[in-house]
A = this chain, B = another copy of it.
Amino acid sequence: MPTAPTGRRRRADAERSIARIVSAARECLSRDPNASIDDIAKAAGVGRMTLYGHFRNRKELVEAAMADALRAGEEVLSEVDLSGPAQDVLVRLLESSWSLVAESTALLTAAQGTLPAGRVRELHAGPAARLEELVRRGQDEGVFRTDMPVTWLVNVVQYVLHGAAEENRADRLKPEDTGRIVIATVRSILAA
């Protein structure tokens, strides 16, 4: 999905380069939203000019990184068993995706600076809808609280995940404990 193909097809090595670049972009931008194009190219083990050959500008690159992260998210989330009580579904959802979401949240912050605000929300709408639906269902079942806007409940989970990622980076939270703690924290927030 890099530069709009003019109809002609791409070579295999180009495909590989693009994949490495996008991957590196996700990694770098998650750590530092202001990572330079050069940093990303280096991390991808690729010349800066090669990168510009596939992505015309920073905006296109960030968008591609976001799209890739979102795609990975959809992939993981689509395999989660959604049956059973909302609380249990929530736990399964978080177990399989908290780290991914945490990473993407940082990436999203990066995107906020370079992409138009509307586009960011648009990309982010899909995954958010999944959690939102679960929250509503939990409310209907009477196990999730109803004294706050659903939007807040959904977003505060994001903020907690983002925080967990930060704490991990700063070594204030042991990686092996993070999953448990995130799940317990979120459960407490949503519980009726």
Q: Residues of A with Cβ closer than 8 Å to B?
A: 34, 145, 147-149, 151-152, 155-156, 158-160, 162-163, 166-167, 172-173, 177, 181, 184-185, 188-189, 191
Main secondary structure, interface of A, reads helix
In the bound assembly, the distance between CA atoms of A34 and B151 in angstroms comes to: 28
In the bound assembly, the distance between CA atoms of A147 and B163 in angstroms comes to: 18
Choose one: B159, B172, B173, B191; the contact of A160 (CB below 8 Å): B159
In the bound assembly, the distance between CA atoms of A185 and B148 in angstroms comes to: 9
In the bound assembly, the distance between CA atoms of A182 and B163 in angstroms comes to: 16
Choose one: B151, B163, B167, B188; the contact of A191 (CB below 8 Å): B188
User: Whole-angstrom distance from the CB of A140 to the nearest CB of chain B?
Assistant: 20
A189-B185, A191-B188 known; A159 vs B152 contact (CB < 8 Å): no
User: Whole-angstrom distance from the CB of A124 to the nearest CB of chain B?
Assistant: 12
